[in-house]
Amino acid sequence: MKKLLLIFLLASASANAQWSVMQKYSEFGKGNYYLFASTEKDARRIILETLQDNQLSYDLVFKKGANLLLTTAIVDPLNSEYVYVIHSMRGQYYNKPGYHVFCYYMENRYRYFYDITEGENRISLIYEPGVLNVSPNKDKNNK
């Protein structure tokens, strides 16, 4: 019984290891987080603070004033089989303009995509390792 309890505690601790500091965000599914920031400046600050709090490199290029402010993928420095994907896009929340910020923790070998529709506009977000320029494996595949 003690062994079973120990295994359960170790498994739950490792499941919570990714994105260890995410109090600002709402969690929707294990390792998936969402936040709405009212200004571009707030969205940028929150993303950079979150990466710094989670001890990740944060040399990011924000597209100032664009509908898609940021889309990036960062390989987990502790386990390269996993990747952090961050999307930030302009939108509305309860009729207030601002920026949606999505953070995902996922395996680094799966294709991931979804569309966001707002009014008549649609933004497609895609992450595919080794193919898109947001891929953390971009340099490996070019060799």
Whether residue 143 has pLDDT greater than 50:
no
Rounded to whole angstroms, how far apart are CA atoms 112 and 107? 10
**Where exactly are the structural domains of the chain?**
30-141
Residue 140's pLDDT is 45
Between 25-29, 55-59, 77-81, 123-127, the lowest mean confidence (pLDDT) is in 123-127
Rounded to whole angstroms, how far apart are CA atoms 105 and 14? 13
Using 50, 70 and 90 to split pLDDT, how confident is the model at 131? low
Using 50, 70 and 90 to split pLDDT, how confident is the model at 114? low
Hey, what long-range contacts does 21-30 have (CB within 8 A, 24 or more apart)?
A: 21/50, 21/53, 21/54, 22/50, 22/54, 22/103, 24/50, 25/50, 25/101, 25/103
Q: Which fold has domain 30-141?
A: TBP-like (3.30.2030)
Listed residue (15, 38, 36, 57) closest to 102, CA to CA: 36
Whether residue 126 has pLDDT greater than 80:
no
3-state secondary structure 54-118: CCCCCCCCCCCCCCEEEEEEEECCCCCCEEEEEEEEEEEECCEEEEEEEEEEEECCCCEEEEEEE
